[in-house]
Structure 1
Amino acid sequence: MTRDRIDFENTPFLIKFSEAARFKETYGGGEGNVLVEGRHMRRPDATKDTVLIFMHPTATIDTLPMPREFARRGVPVLACASRYPHNDSALIMEKVLIDLGQYVRYAREKLGYKHVVLAGWSGGASLSVYYQAQAEKPTVTATPAGEPVDFSGLMRADGIMQLAAHSSRARIMTESMDASIRNELDPTDRDPALDLYAKSGGPQAPYSADFVARYRAAQVARNRKITAWVRDTLEDLERRKGPDLERCFVVHGTMADPRWLDPALDPNERIPGRCYIGNPAVANNGPIGLARFCTLRSWLSQWSIDDSYANTERQGAQVTIPALVIGNGADDACPPSHTEMIHASLGGPKQFHVIRGANHYYLGQRDQLFEAIDICIDWMQRNKLLDGLPARQ
């Protein structure tokens, strides 16, 4: 157990469980075993009845301002990593749901928390909605690639928060795809009429409504073209009946959303020409771009606009527990249309707030961070999900 520099304990823990699978897509741990790692962040005098579960499909978020501030306020936090920490190349969203289910069970049965609230931040938002929807009413029995999954044992949460969130990985990535790329094997083969980053002669912001409509249609078409190739390749591998079951591939150009260049599109307070990972022109083909490295099954589960089930528009109506949706006013990762779609999609009692001036991470924004935390605490208390909060320090 380690001691945080201010006032909460930050205790690492491991959960190990067995899982049958056709093959293993994570490194180490032995075949048939899954190991996930989390952090229990808690003040000694914190409430004993409520815990927030922060989980992202691939990020480990125990160092971010929001979960740490909750722990400082006396609201215990489990900061949870999936089996795919910092590497979503082979990530299957349905398996991440299984991982999240292990944390919910651990929180209730091992740690004794009465109230479990899913704190879905950023990419963890659609994950938490997908999880709760399937915990309330299991409808998914197989991954988009056809591998069976069993969600019948998922334990329900008591409340859900959607924080600086997008509605799905598939949608946010598709809206960021470089529509000008014509050849998936050669990112320099581009349609100049759609090339946002052309040195000369390309489209310039502000963009017309007709251009945006054409660009969005080309993005969806590109996503579907990759999906068709993925399904053809999977079918070919199945026909061969051998041990060769998967393929890895690269997706070029996945940070070319015209919103980052034209602040009039889906407007908020973000800075034009920037995105949450810096200069979008550089990130467009950089190594950390969305969906840069993929497997066939991972593409269908995470990134296919038509196939991925981890989609709040698709799952949200099944979520009937109390929900809080918070948008960040200067978010340069998750645009306001996504926040609005999330709020409209959820099926239970819900509240909606926007934190003016807040960037995606609340980095360097103490006032905006405290405002968001205060809103969350008030919402939990009003919904009888939190009591016994210690004095603020």
Structure 2
Amino acid sequence: MSKYYDRTPHLIAFSEQSSFKDTYAGPMDLVTLEAHLLTPKSGPGKTVVVFMHPVGGGAYLPMVSALARAGLSVIYCNSRYRGADSALLMEKVVADLGACVRYAREKLGYEKVVLGGWSGGGSLSLMYQAEAEDPQITETPAGDPYDLVAQQLIPADGIMLLAAHVSRAITMTEWLDPSVKDENNPEIRDLELDIYHPDCPNQPPYSDAFVARFRQAQIDRNRRITDWVKSKLADFRSQGLHSEEFGFVVHRTMCDVRWLDATQDPNDRQPGTCYLGDPRTVNNGPVALARFNTLRGWLSQWSYDDSRANGPACAKRIRIPALVIGNSADNACTPSHTQRLYECFAEGQAERYEVEGANHYYFGQQDKMDEAVEVCMNWLKKHNLA
């Protein structure tokens, strides 16, 4: 028990009919979300900050606890896909976040809800708010019925994007190894694009022409996978198999010129590293983005052209006040992500701040954490949200 706040578990449950199961165990038509409520000793207050990440696992992140220590109520709620995103549908995660926001307002009695969009939770929060303010989605990118319009999502009162990237699909594409020529045999690669190979003729610092070619090849690879996914789904449906799924592996998904060349999207990060360690190792390791997939999951969260969880596009559809905080030593969400998000808000709608020298998680950086929290608290008070 913290001397600053109380942490209590909550289960948020709701019914949802589905033609097949995409999460492990539990009743077929019941969704149960695990949530942590952090309530300051000074009392719950009128506002709660709600965090959710598509794949979850952040209930003990430094920022979550730090905001509670500063006197804010905070909920960290895991989505239904906690720890397993191979079949994840962003549309269903939006529904999960909606259930948490409704719980906070109607069950817990908070007057104001602020979305805390940490890292991959940034584009999720933006997608949620866009659908709450301007509902449009009635089916998944695979064409399966899923009606977010009918859910009447409750709009939040503010949004804080903290060390956030622009989207899972865009980020993964910018990390996708473009040298892979054959998805069924990833050892067949284009040496000129294989930046981790010692004999690659292109070495850092990279030329503008090479980076442009590299980036286009990443998009092209994403689109090839997407074309195959759509063809596979169409084939199943032509056989009358409308609920059929198919699991597949995407190899080599952690490859970015920014990790080897510090002049690309420059900040204070350490060259040769990424937020998961050595990118050469992680590139084909088990925990990299989009390693294990299903057809519908790919289209919803990883397809460059089909995923609706596009942070900048969603930001243009919302009208609530926004705070965008970047960390200058972040080796996951680099400055261009922060800038792209900030620029998509209407003039005067968003404020931007950069924490100099901070890493992605503020691990071992209490002073940087304190600075970020102070910025959040001042912004919340300015907008009468704390």
* TM-score normalised by the chain length of structure 2: 0.97
Residue 381 of structure 2: SS of its match in structure 1? Answer: helix
Structure 1: runs of 5+ lacking an equivalent: 387-393
- In structure 2, the partner of 1:350 is 350
Match of 1:58 among 55, 61, 65: 55
- Cα distance in structure 1, aligned partners of 2:242 and 2:171: 34
- In structure 1, the partner of 2:218 is 219
- In structure 1, the partner of 2:384 is 384
Distance 1:47 1:381, change over 3 A: farther
Identical-residue share of aligned pairs (%): 51
- In structure 1, the partner of 2:253 is 254
Is 1:277 aligned to residue 276 of structure 2?
yes
- Cα distance in structure 2, aligned partners of 1:76 and 1:233: 46
- Which is worse superposed, 125-134 or 180-189? 180-189
Is 1:39 aligned to residue 36 of structure 2?
yes
Offset of residue 315 of structure 1: 1.2
- Cα distance in structure 1, aligned partners of 2:84 and 2:261: 30
Offset of residue 202 of structure 1: 4.0
- Which is worse superposed, 30-39 or 227-236? 30-39
- Cα distance in structure 2, aligned partners of 1:142 and 1:191: 38
Offset of residue 312 of structure 1: 1.4
Offset of residue 331 of structure 1: 0.5
Q: Deviations over 1:135-190 (max 9, x none)?
A: 00101221101122222310010000110010100010000000000011112111
Is 1:100 aligned to residue 80 of structure 2?
no
Offset of residue 346 of structure 1: 2.2
Q: Deviations over 1:364-393 (max 9, x none)?
A: 00111000000000000000111xxxxxxx
- In structure 2, the partner of 1:166 is 165
- Cα distance in structure 1, aligned partners of 2:114 and 2:29: 30
- In structure 1, the partner of 2:370 is 370
Offset of residue 243 of structure 1: 6.8
Q: Deviations over 1:260-305 (max 9, x none)?
A: 0000000010000000000000000000010000000000000000
Say whether the 8 Å CA contact 2:172–2:302 is kept in structure 1.
yes
- In structure 2, the partner of 1:84 is 81
Q: Which amino acid aligns with 1:350?
A: A
Distance 1:118 1:201, change over 3 A: closer
- Cα distance in structure 2, aligned partners of 1:148 and 1:243: 12
Q: How many residues align?
A: 383
Structure 2: runs of 5+ lacking an equivalent: none
- Cα distance in structure 2, aligned partners of 1:164 and 1:375: 13
- In structure 2, the partner of 1:391 is none
Offset of residue 7 of structure 1: 2.5
- Cα distance in structure 1, aligned partners of 2:341 and 2:227: 28
- Cα distance in structure 1, aligned partners of 2:253 and 2:208: 21
Moved over 4 A (4+): none
Offset of residue 314 of structure 1: 1.8
Offset of residue 199 of structure 1: 2.7
Offset of residue 242 of structure 1: 3.3
Q: Which amino acid aligns with 1:322?
A: P
- Cα distance in structure 2, aligned partners of 1:177 and 1:46: 46
Offset of residue 41 of structure 1: 0.7
Say whether the 8 Å CA contact 2:87–2:293 is kept in structure 1.
yes
